[in-house]
Amino acid sequence: MTAYDAVVLAGGAARRLGGADKPGVRVGGRALLDRVLAACADARTTVVVADPRPTVRPVTWARERPPGGGPVAALYAGLRHTTAQDVVVLSADLPFLTEETVRRLLTALGTSDAEGVLVTDTDGRDQPLVAAYRTSALRRELTVLNGVPARSGSAESGGLTGLPLRRLTAGLDLTRVPDPVASFDCDTWDDIATARARIREHGHVLDEWITAVKDELGIDLDVDTGLLLDLARDAAHGVARPAAPLTTFLVGYAAARAGGGPEAVAEASRKAAALALRWADENTADAKPDAAPDA
């Protein structure tokens, strides 16, 4: 996958949420904006078009002029800070957007002659704010719509104020990728409730919780959670229930002392799991004392 930049539009009025701070609304314990930023974490430059706020990782801030000028004007402002040939354009209210979706869009763009690849929702509608574009194509169409010559660093976007995104995408050669999950956005409080309920479903809750904890603690470490869960199970069943959280804590501490990283966690987990199994074996009814080699 080639290098890319990302532009996240996060400055809308959120009228259907009663004017609430939509990017800061939490789903699964994480702000919607932070969830989107995690999905494009490997972007070379990430520009958020909104007033600055605390985020889980550093970003470049931009603002359309005048503020509240709509998505086309906001995109114009964000693109001024990008230099990559490809740019991912996202809204800040996508609770289920993942790195896999972003990679899928960029791969589709890189293997086609299209000027953009966008997601379609469950009804087949285009979602131009879940998309990857050729940066040059976006700049070309924005210049046409704005009616002014393109010039580096220009903040002039008055001609773009209030324009719908379909006016921009109408001039682009686009490819579409269906993805009803990644395209789900949170426009209303009912949408927020739906997202929160889905995250708490059995198939999602552990991954969501681990990701939220890592964000909260500032940890950027991908480990085999299945291995840790197996360890916790063996410690709880083979020793005592309170042994599970204490053992996993000690594994983390040992891994940190060994230099950290997924390999250190896996090695410490393996040793602790073997110990838990040996401990459990001693409690079985047919356990025999260790015999000498020459017995």
**Per-residue model confidence as pLDDT tens digits over 224-259:** 777 778 888 888 888 888 888 888 888 888 888 888
Tokens of 106: 């960029």
Q: Average of pLDDT values for 207-217?
A: 75
pLDDT in tens, 177-191: 999 999 999 989 999
Contact 276, 251 (CB under 8 A): no
Residue with the two structure tokens 């004392």: 289
Answer yes or no: is pLDDT of 157 > 80. Answer: no
Give the pLDDT score at 86. 97
Instruction: Quote the CA–CA distance of 213 and 221 in Å, as a whole number.
Output: 11
Which one has a higher pLDDT value, 272 or 95?
95
Secondary structure (DSSP) of 229-265: HHHHHHHHHHT-TTHHHHHHHHHHHHHHHTT-SHHHH
Q: Is the pTM of this model over 0.75?
A: yes
Answer yes or no: is pLDDT of 221 > 60. Answer: yes
What Å distances lie between residue 258 and 214, 261, 263, 267, CA to CA? 20, 9, 10, 10
Answer yes or no: is pLDDT of 152 > 70. Answer: no
Which positions ≥6 away from 19 have C-beta within 8 Å?
Answer: 13
66 preceded by a cis bond (ω within 30 of 0): yes
Q: Average of pLDDT values for 107-126?
A: 94
- Burial, 1: exposed, middle or buried (Cβ in 10 Å; 0-12, 13-18, 19+)? exposed
Give the pLDDT score at 212. 77
Which positions ≥6 away from 290 have C-beta within 8 Å?
Answer: none
Largest CA distance in the chain: 94
Answer yes or no: is pLDDT of 288 > 70. Answer: no
Instruction: Quote the CA–CA distance of 119 and 129 in Å, as a whole number.
Output: 8
Q: How confident is the model at residue 292 (pLDDT cuts 50, 70, 90)?
A: very low
Instruction: Quote the CA–CA distance of 17 and 189 in Å, as a whole number.
Output: 6
- Tell me what the pLDDT averaged over the chain comes to: 85
Phi, psi of 146 (to 5 degrees): -75, -25
Give the pLDDT score at 105. 97
Q: What letters, b where the CB count within 10 A reaches 16 and e where it falls short, cover 56-87?
A: beebbebbbeeeebbbbbbbbbbbbbbeeebb
Give the pLDDT score at 271. 87
Contact 176, 109 (CB under 8 A): no
Phi, psi of 30 (to 5 degrees): -125, 140
Secondary structure (DSSP) of 173-195: -EEEEE-TTTT----SHHHHHHH
Pairing of strands 86-91, 126-134: antiparallel
In angstroms, what is the C-alpha Rg of the chain? 25
Give the pLDDT score at 211. 78
% of the chain at pLDDT higher than 70: 89
Answer yes or no: is pLDDT of 291 > 60. Answer: no
Phi, psi of 254 (to 5 degrees): -65, -40
pLDDT in tens, 26-68: 998 889 999 999 999 999 999 999 999 999 889 999 999 888 8
